[in-house]
Amino acid sequence: MTVLAIICICLAAYLWFPLPRQILIDRESGTKTIEPEFQIDELEQKAASSSEILRTLEVIRLCISSGMTISDALEYAKNHSPLSAAQELDRGLNQFRIGYPLTRGLEQIAIENPLWISISDTMIASLNSGSPIANQLADVEFILQSAIDTEKLKRIKSVAVKSVLPLGLCFLPAFILLAVIPLIAGLISGII
């Protein structure tokens, strides 16, 4: 039983903590180099997460509420947003800078990352109709925050289920040894 508990603890520690980076030693020169944690491909860019988009949307909404135009608000948000969201905004604004309509850049942002769809649709509708957008962006921000909170609650609930597995692995062998085997032995000795 103790051995099983130690194995479970070791397995949990192995899965929870990452392995350290490897130190490579060149045998000829004797120099040590540390292996990088991960390779960064410049062409491959990470899509912005919901929380990064939410932070960017908050900046955009505050800029538009203060009187900025949509293009100026996007430019300001690009400079004050997390890196992945700023890169996505920059790709959309690049189309606007070279002469295409801003709606095309917003559509491109939504195509590249579907999490931007509600935001870009709201901005495109405002650009086409000229209607005020601050209240609509506040509603989109509330919906996005609700979706993030719902996802967090799902993850929290799944942790409760997953945490029972090591506990079950520790108690199941003891239950079998102390309850099931004596019961079966008593039934077998009663039959014979």
pLDDT digits (tens, 9 = 90+) for 104-123: 999 999 999 999 999 999 99
pLDDT value at 19 more than 70: no
Residue 96 included in any domain? yes
| Per-residue pLDDT tens digits for 77-102 | 999 999 999 999 999 999 999 999 99
For residues 60 and 151, give the distance between their C-alpha atoms in angstroms, rounded to a whole number: 24
CB 119 within 8 A of CB 139: no
Structural domain of 58: 50-146
Residue 166 included in any domain? no
Neighbours of 160 (CB within 10 A): 8
Please report the pLDDT score of residue 43 as a whole number: 40
Please report the pLDDT score of residue 61 as a whole number: 94
pLDDT value at 24 more than 90: no
CB 86 within 8 A of CB 47: no
Residue 38 included in any domain? no
pLDDT value at 21 more than 60: no
Q: How far is CA 32 from CA 29, 37, 48, in A?
A: 9, 16, 36
Average pLDDT, the chain: 82
Please report the pLDDT score of residue 128 as a whole number: 92
For residues 100 and 80, give the distance between their C-alpha atoms in angstroms, rounded to a whole number: 24
- Total domains present in the chain: 1
Least confident among 17-31, 79-93, 112-126, 166-180: 17-31
Residue 104 included in any domain? yes
For residues 25 and 33, give the distance between their C-alpha atoms in angstroms, rounded to a whole number: 6
Residue 191 included in any domain? no
For residues 25 and 181, give the distance between their C-alpha atoms in angstroms, rounded to a whole number: 55
Q: What is the DSSP letter of 66?
A: T
Mean pLDDT of 145-164: 85
> Predicted confidence band at 41 (pLDDT cuts at 50, 70, 90)?
very low
Residue 133 included in any domain? yes
- Residue 182 parent element (H or E): helix 181-191
CB 84 within 8 A of CB 48: yes
Residue 171 included in any domain? no
